[in-house]
Amino acid sequence: MNILVCVKRVPAPGARIVLTDDSQGIDTRHLGFTTSPHEECAVEAAVQLKERHGGTTTVLTLGPPDAVEQLRYSVSVGADRVVLVPADSTEWDPQATASALVEAIKDLEGDSPFDLILFGNESADSGGYQVGIRVARALGRPVISGLKGIEIDGDQMVGRRETDEGFEVYRLPMPAIAAAKEGITLPRYPTLPGRLKSRRAEIHEVPAEMTPGGQEMVSLLKPAEEVTETVILGHGAEAAPGVVRLLEEVGLL
Amino acid sequence: MTRILVFVDNDRGTLSPSALEALTPAYSLADSLDASLELATVGEGGRAALEPVGLGGYVISHPVLSDYAPEAYGDALAQLVSEEQFSVVISLGDDRGAEVMAHMAAVLDQPLVANVTEIADTEGPDGSWEVIRVRWGGSLLERARLRSDLKFLTIAPHTFPAPEPNGGAGPLTTFVPEIPDSLARTRVVERVKLAEGLTLATAPVVVSGGRGVGSAENFAILEELADLLGGVVGCSRVATNNGWRPHSDQVGQTGTRIAPDLYIACGISGAVQHWVGCMASKQILAINTDPEAPLVTKADYAVIGDLHEILAAVIAEIKARP
């Protein structure tokens, strides 16, 4: 089982997002960066499949040179090989991202396709919900989104996805592609040997051309913030009667 | 005349409660462009569900489309769009809408703008449009320019109310696409039902816990309150990552987005990731030791103090009612 996971480096905002003065990005001077959550879980899923079925896990990111931080992190939690597709810091629209990834994947694969390529369902920041599907279409491979469970059965990928009532099951012939959602796995923490290994990991670079698609970011804006006057019902146990009155008003009691 | 197509998903003949939301901005767009507005759905089962909407359009029918199949849906709709020369295609940006639209846009090699909240300008240079779309799950917006002859947009869920059916039964024509049997490779093969009754997405009240709850066992008191109120328990990402609750309980950008009558957030500070999942709640009650916690300042009501002590007192008070 050779698996490729495509991940995105994103800022890790806390309770407030602050924009840069030119409204072209978010102010990351005081923020750390992380792997977009769905993709972090996809990496864990790939490592677990490798542990069960053998093979290798490759993690690829299209991003700025600093995205090496996320690639090294993925080595510390079990990835075997990491690939950087260098991109400048400007916003790449979904079509541009997908076509650059397709070129990079073809370059990595040569004549032997990955059995499975995993994406995140959508990135935490730009949330386009489409890059994995565009890549799959360009490569002519089956794809499903919203992957919440995965097993391998012979030459098929058995995927589950959540519905309101339970889940749906899909069976895709491999090579296949899927866009995973957080919750497919619980990511492990890096071990000390993993951390040491990640520092020595070689970063493969595959260049890509930026071919702009039809969507362009003009600027970012903050949604109109509702100013809420919070009613304090009380402190500690003495607030209980006030809470019960609220529950009655809402019609729950 | 400009023709606008709205894709409305049906699941074996049933519409989800939000299925028609995308029609509201579509009606406004059709008015401002003086365009025609038509519907498309997949499977004969959708006919009865969509006729009451009162719009004309298409029911797409083919043996490969016997159940949800994202690739085949995408191919079939792309054929309809091409043959009938639609120039704008809109869908709700829920799981299936986002997926089917991405397939359609990829097949036709067109851009797709996801989770639009406003179509701000349709008279930009060279036929381009300016739209406002959601980023970071809704904590940030983006002004985006869309340059293409064929415009694909998904509409952010929970942004527009669904329109009232206008009563007249619109004529829905059957459209039979040509799709290879091989595209059945991504069709649903099995459905497993887990939940009966209330779910996180439908419960009128959600009692949710975060870091402040402290352990998996400590969620018992949240369960007790949820049971008393006829609701369910939710949690923050911290609770999931600590293994206290299953991911299916997670409220947030990467979990479930909910809109209950009352959201009771216990020991949750309210990072952006969590806020965007609960901000559509009608009322929010935050219980937290920290009066400055972001969720406390954004909530309608708050109780300051230890959540275990407070919940125990609330439960006792409810049980003591006549």
DSSP code for A181: -
A233 found inside a domain: no
Specify the residue for token string 């541009």.
A96
Nearest CB to B141; choose among A128, A221, A250: A221
Q: Is there a contact between B15 and B8 (Cβ–Cβ < 8 Å)?
A: yes
Check whether B195 has a pLDDT greater than 80. no
A-to-B residue pairs, Cβ atoms closer than 8 angstroms? 271
- What proportion of chain A, given as a percentage, has pLDDT over 90? 91
Best residue in A170, A225, A238 for a mutation probing chain B (most B CBs within 10 Å): A170
Which residues, including other chains, have CB under 8 Å from residue B289's CB and lie 6 or more apart?
A: B212, B267, B304, B305, B306, B307
Q: What is the CATH number of domain B3-186?
A: 3.40.50.620
CA distance A89 to chain B (A): 17
ipTM value, please give it: 0.95
A80 found inside a domain: yes
B205-319 domain in CATH 3.40.50.1220? yes
Grade residue A224 by pLDDT with cuts at 50, 70 and 90: confident
Nearest CB to B140; choose among A17, A93, A233: A17
DSSP element (H, E) containing B275: helix B272-278
A108 found inside a domain: yes
Which residues, including other chains, have CB under 8 Å from residue B123's CB and lie 6 or more apart?
A: none
Check whether A166 has a pLDDT greater than 70. yes
Q: Residue A199 belongs to a domain with what CATH number?
A: 3.40.50.620
CA distance B236 to chain A (A): 13
What does the pLDDT read at residue A150?
Answer: 98
A91 found inside a domain: yes
B190-193 and A166-173 strand pairing: antiparallel
pLDDT of B81-120, one tens digit each? Answer: 999 999 999 999 999 999 999 999 999 999 999 999 999 9
Grade residue B322 by pLDDT with cuts at 50, 70 and 90: confident
pLDDT of B214-235, one tens digit each? Answer: 999 999 999 999 999 999 999 9
What does the pLDDT read at residue B167?
Answer: 67
The three-state secondary structure class of B308 is: helix
CA distance B308 to B322: 24
Mean of pLDDT over chain B: 95
Check whether A225 has a pLDDT greater than 80. no
Q: What is the mean pLDDT of residues A1-22?
A: 92
Check whether B317 has a pLDDT greater than 90. yes
Q: What is the mean pLDDT of residues A127-145?
A: 98
Grade residue A63 by pLDDT with cuts at 50, 70 and 90: very high
Q: Is there a contact between A93 and A214 (Cβ–Cβ < 8 Å)?
A: yes
Query: What are the residues facing B236 on neighbouring strands?
Result: none
| Domain with A24 in it | 2-205
The residue of chain B with its CA nearest to that of A214 is B147
Residue boundaries of the structural domains of chain B: 3-186, 205-319
Q: What is the mean pLDDT of residues A13-19?
A: 85
- What proportion of chain B, given as a percentage, has pLDDT over 70? 99
* Confidence (pTM): 0.94
Check whether A177 has a pLDDT greater than 90. yes
Which residues, including other chains, have CB under 8 Å from residue A150's CB and lie 6 or more apart?
A: A45, A49, A157, A158, A159, A160, A178, A180, A184
Best residue in A38, A169, A250 for a mutation probing chain B (most B CBs within 10 Å): A250
CA distance B277 to A51: 34
A236 found inside a domain: no
CA distance B203 to B198: 5
Check whether B197 has a pLDDT greater than 80. no
Identify the CA nearest to B25 among candidates B154, B123, B148, B217: B154
Identify the CA nearest to A123 among candidates A39, A15, A221, A45: A39
A235 found inside a domain: no
